[in-house]
Amino acid sequence: MYVVLGASLGASSVAGGIFLRRRYWVRIPTQDSVTPKMYKRWIKGRVTAVGDSDNFRLYHTPGFGWRWPFRFRKVPDNARGQTISIRLAGIDAPEVSHFAGQEAQKYYEESLKWLTNKIKGKTVYCKLMQKDQYGRIIALVYSRARWFPGTKNISMEMLREGWAHVYEQSGGVYGDAKKEDYLAIQEQAKSKRRGIWKNPREEQEHPSEYKRRYAAATGIPEAAVSAAPNTSASGKKK
């Protein structure tokens, strides 16, 4: 009996060790490696590039033990093909120009600058939610581990500063909050005339409307307008 019990405990320990290693010590190289079983999982990593004003590239750095025993492990200078494409949940920011002759949406540069200054080169914490139609991982992104005092939801911060709209299309992802919570923050930014709302007389076009308008005017499918990348996986302009 003791032999059987010992064998069972040993097998359980091995299985538990394999689970912990896969969950906390194995690096996720790209968004293609993210499976539905990983949804709702928290990961952390370094932001290597901000490709648009509501998405970025994350070099996943697993938790405790990842750098052991190789203390020289670090985020490479050229992370091409080694990063996860992350789409900020709950918001839609001014659109970049994806094609020659297409004008970027007004306030795109300011929105991009805000997000770049906020997260590029820094460690962020992401709750992976789901993949969008372009293969990007929609995630709730925080400036620090969620249990630390003062941690901030980047999407909500961007709304609060007036540099994004609430994502209002079907399939929106808002995490534990509700869409109404995001809309309330947006209304506060409007009332305080922050960011894109600084001129109350200026009508602001939602990014989804901008994409529909441009698609109708050019004959380019709306999905192509949204999907066309403006940066490579390494963060360099194409």
Amino acid at site 91? I
The neighbour count for residue 232, using CB atoms within 10 Å, is 14
Provide the token pair at 176: 């534990």
Structure confidence at residue 213 as a pLDDT band (50, 70, 90): confident
What average pLDDT does the segment 61-81 reach? 73
Provide the token pair at 237: 């302009």
Q: How far apart are CA 114 and CA 73, in angstroms?
A: 30
How, if at all, do strands 84-88 and 165-166 pair?
A: unpaired
Greater pLDDT, 15 or 200: 200
User: From its phi and psi, is residue 122 left (phi > 0), alpha (psi between -120 and 50) or beta?
Assistant: beta
| Residue 94, pLDDT above cutoff 90 | yes
Q: How far apart are CA 27 and CA 102, in angstroms?
A: 38
Provide the token pair at 93: 């920011």
| Residue 201, pLDDT above cutoff 50 | yes
Greater pLDDT, 68 or 127: 127
How, if at all, do strands 137-142 and 84-88 pair?
A: parallel
What average pLDDT does the segment 134-143 reach? 96
- Over residues 14-41, the pLDDT tens digits come to 433 334 445 556 899 999 999 999 999 9
pTM of the model: 0.80
- Which pLDDT belongs to residue 124? 95
Place of tokens 């059987």: 4
Residues annotated as catalytic are 87, 95, 136
Nearest to 74 by CA among 46, 33, 51: 46
- Which pLDDT belongs to residue 74? 79
- Which pLDDT belongs to residue 24? 54
Q: What is the CATH number of domain 27-227?
A: 2.40.50.90
- Which pLDDT belongs to residue 76? 81
Kindly report which listed range (55-64, 87-96, 218-227) carries the lowest average pLDDT score.
Answer: 218-227
For 60, the 3-state DSSP assignment is strand
For 126, the 3-state DSSP assignment is strand
What average pLDDT does the segment 209-227 reach? 70
What average pLDDT does the segment 199-208 reach? 88
What average pLDDT does the segment 191-220 reach? 86
Q: How far apart are CA 6 and CA 213, in angstroms?
A: 68
φ, ψ of residue 57 to 5 degrees: the values are -110, 130
Which residue stretches of the chain are H helix?
2-20, 108-119, 154-160, 179-191, 207-218, 222-227
